[in-house]
Amino acid sequence: MTAVRSDTAVRIDGVSRFFGSSAARVQALDNVSLDVRSGEFLCLLGASGCGKSTLLGLIAGLDAPTTGTVDTTGRRAGMMFQDSALLPWLTAGGNIEVPLRLRGIRRAERRERVERLLAMVRLAGLADKRPHELSGGMRQRVSLARAFAQEADILCMDEPFGALDAMTRDLLHDELERIWRETGVTVIFVTHDVREAVRLGDRIVLLSSRPGRVAEIFDVDIERPRRIDSARVAELATTVTTRLREEVGRHGH
Amino acid sequence: MATESGTSTQLRSRSTDLDAETGLEVDAALAGLDALDIPTAQRRPLAARAWAATWPKIGALALFLLLWQIVVWSGWKPTYLLPGPGKALSEFGSRLGTGHFWDALARTLVRAVEGYALAVVIGVVVGVVVSRSTILRTAVGSFITALQTMPSIVWFPLAILLFKLSESAILFVVVLGAAPSVANGVIYGVDYVPPLLVRVGRSMGARGFSLYRYIVAPAALPSVLAGLKQGWAFCWRSLMAGELLVIVPGHSSVGADLQNSRELIDTVGVMASMITIFVVGVLVDAAFNTADQQMRVRRGLIAEGTSAVRAARGGRGPGAAGGGVDPAGGSVDGTVPHQPADAGAGGADGGHAGSAG
């Protein structure tokens, strides 16, 4: 592709995804088309069954569309999961090392990179801790560092802060925003929390449910750094919530 | 685009005052939360933990010996048929000084190790192959379990016909006894690998062999270890049955000694041999439990010291000596890597008390 390093990081074109065999076929995504700009912070928002995780899996290359194409324009996608999904038999540092080992990077360099990535998520010196010794928020930061260890240009995040308490989540929003700005990575962030989407996103893609379709795209013209409790965030969140309820309401009968 | 020089970009982002301020504020709050999140429970001293893990076993053993002695005192059987624990133990003790005892034990252990090693190799290969193929799975999955439930002793007539009274006959039955357990451990281990972890592995670029190496094998380890442990138990049982039935001329062994004592109506000798068999079983079981305990502590499946605490509360562990060895593993091993990393976590000292959050 000549489009490498273009302004578009991900091109999603007419993507549908069905699960199951012919008789009990379920459609998760229906003709979704969407361009993600390079360096953009894009939030995918929707209720249950909108296929947002499916879409993320397609972008991360874990799954293939039934029809349509997903083009990551030569960029590498890394994935971060809701449940930190750290490997429990490895230390924090060991977890971050796995993608480096998979790419055959030498030991000395690995160690150095692990330290740098841990410092980036403000967990310097905790390389030898095991996942169960860390709090939920710390585990998610290790998970974030591990995603960065994949040298991803596109960071796919599947409700990464969904299971955290509100205070930790707010702080991690700040952290994520800082790291996003420092690295210039493209973030595709799946959430069902409208305020979180408004707090973080440059754009919010609202998906309808069963099957997932793009219902509406909102531009978030609020200056950064934002606070989740600011009036402007709340205002836009109200608009988006109203629209989301409309979409969800169509399934009530 | 991705992260290159973390520090220089960090400096750049801090160049604006606003950013620097919020940055510092976030820093402080985050550091505070982290410090609160690091558990502060202290480890009990090693001696206390070792004692807590040991005394229930000693107590159970003492109780057993007492009951035995009471039965002997009751005069239920003449003492030449049922001697007391004192006699049996002193016979066991005096045997420890003889070369014959050690020769017999060495032969038995060599047979056990050879048979077990072969069973592990076969079990792991069969387990991996079967777990990868749905067809094989349907074909031989239940067959393996059926094989496992066959008492090993029923194989001996066939083994003796095939191999005569030879080492091979014993090896044959020992391998047949132990391999199905190992194979089942591998199959179930692979079955129960959380799909999320496989997804994680794939998202990091692991495929085929590397997926097995980095995700599937370590995730399956607990079940594999359980299979290995059970395999050992079957191996040891089959071997003992074999040594009683298949006495190879000129080859002394623990089982042969046992059989020999029975023929001479030497009950003390029978019991001394049984004590030998029991002690080997306990020691190997303890080794497996230590490995299991270490693995669980490392993975946060057990809070360090929990089993010792449980033991201190009344030792409701499994069976008196056989299964009750486990707490010693986790508490005495000293490999638990949980010394605090001293990373500005104010006031947090000591290891961990359990899963945080």
Q: What angle do CA A39, A40, A43 make, to 5 degrees?
A: 145
Highest mean pLDDT out of A85-94, A119-128, B310-319: A85-94
pLDDT at B178 over 80: yes
- Which residue in chain A has the smallest CA separation from B30? A171
B22 touches chain A (CB under 8 A): yes
pLDDT at A46 over 50: yes
pLDDT confidence tier of residue B356, bands split at 50, 70 and 90: very low
Q: Could you say which residues from 276 to 305 on chain B have a Cβ atom under 8 Å away from some Cβ of chain A?
A: 295, 298-301
The one-letter amino acid code at B94 reads S
| Region of residue B69 (phi > 0: left; psi between -120 and 50: alpha; otherwise: beta) | alpha
Q: What average pLDDT score do residues A119-139 get?
A: 87
List CB contacts (< 8 A) between B214 and chain A.
Answer: 87, 98, 101-102
Alpha-carbon distance B103 to A204, whole Å? 78
Residue B339: C-alpha distances to residues A133, B38, B42, B47, B343 (Å) = 11, 12, 10, 18, 11
Q: A74 by DSSP, 3-state: which?
A: coil
How remote is the C-alpha of B81 from its chain's centroid?
A: 36
| C-alpha distance from B12 to closest chain A C-alpha (Å) | 8
DSSP letter string, A5-47: T-SEEEEEEEEEEEES-STT-EEEEEEEEEEEETT-EEEEEE-
In terms of DSSP bridges, do strands A8-19 and A67-71 run parallel, antiparallel, or are they unpaired? antiparallel
Q: Tens of pLDDT along A59-84?
A: 988 888 888 888 888 888 888 988 88
Q: What average pLDDT score do residues A130-145 get?
A: 89
The confidence score (pLDDT) of residue B42 equals: 62
Cβ distance A153 to A8 under 8 Å? no
Cβ distance A228 to A65 under 8 Å? no
Of A87, A91, A130, the CB nearest to B197: A87
Query: Residues of chain B with pLDDT > 90: what percent?
Result: 48
B2–A153 C-beta distance less than 8 A: yes
A vs B, Cβ pairs < 8 A, gives 151
Residue B142: C-alpha distances to residues A238, A247, B119, B139, B187 (Å) = 58, 49, 18, 8, 11
The confidence score (pLDDT) of residue B197 equals: 92
List CB contacts (< 8 A) between B337 and chain A.
Answer: 91, 128, 130
Q: What's the token pair of residue A59? A: 């972008």
Q: What average pLDDT score do residues B103-107 get?
A: 94
Q: Could you say which residues from 53 to 92 on chain A have a Cβ atom under 8 Å away from some Cβ of chain B?
A: 60-62, 75-76, 78-79, 81, 83, 85, 87-91
| C-alpha distance from B98 to closest chain A C-alpha (Å) | 46
- Which residue in chain B has the smallest CA separation from A169? B30
| C-alpha distance from A228 to closest chain B C-alpha (Å) | 14
Of B9, B215, B354, the CB nearest to A182: B9
The confidence score (pLDDT) of residue B4 equals: 43
Number of neighbours of residue A23 by Cβ within 10 angstroms:
5
Alpha-carbon distance B298 to A133, whole Å? 10
Chosen from A36, A182, A230 to mutate, greatest number of chain B CBs within 10 A: A182
* Residue listed under structure tokens 């270490």: B294
Q: Tens of pLDDT along A218-252?
A: 898 888 888 888 888 888 989 988 888 888 887 77
Cβ distance A206 to A45 under 8 Å? yes
Alpha-carbon distance B239 to B232, whole Å? 10
Of A38, A88, A98, the CB nearest to B300: A88
Q: Tens of pLDDT along A177-225?
A: 988 998 889 999 999 899 999 999 999 999 888 788 888 898 988 888 8
pLDDT confidence tier of residue B40, bands split at 50, 70 and 90: low
Alpha-carbon distance B41 to A200, whole Å? 37
Model ipTM value: 0.84
Alpha-carbon distance A64 to A22, whole Å? 17
pLDDT at B326 over 60: no
pLDDT confidence tier of residue B21, bands split at 50, 70 and 90: low
Of A81, A119, A137, the CB nearest to B196: A81
Q: Tens of pLDDT along A138-164?
A: 899 999 999 989 888 899 999 888 888
The confidence score (pLDDT) of residue A243 equals: 87
The confidence score (pLDDT) of residue B31 equals: 80
Alpha-carbon distance B297 to A88, whole Å? 11
The confidence score (pLDDT) of residue A249 equals: 80
B29–A171 C-beta distance less than 8 A: yes
Of A128, A135, A181, the CB nearest to B341: A128
The confidence score (pLDDT) of residue B11 equals: 38
User: For chain A, which residues make up each domain, given as ranges?
Assistant: 8-76+153-251, 86-151
Range scoring the smallest mean pLDDT among A55-59, A75-79, B8-12: B8-12
Q: A8-76+153-251: which CATH architecture?
A: 3-Layer(aba) Sandwich (3.40)
Residue that wins the pLDDT comparison between B31 and B56: B56
Of B13, B215, B301, the CB nearest to A178: B13
List CB contacts (< 8 A) between A120 and chain B.
Answer: 3, 6
B29–A185 C-beta distance less than 8 A: no
Q: What angle do CA B40, B41, B45 make, to 5 degrees?
A: 130
Cβ partners under 8 Å of residue B132, min gap 6:
B190
List CB contacts (< 8 A) between B218 and chain A.
Answer: 87, 89-90
Q: What is the side-by-side order of every strand in the sheet holding A154-158?
A: A77-80, A154-158, A186-191, A41-46, A203-208, A213-219
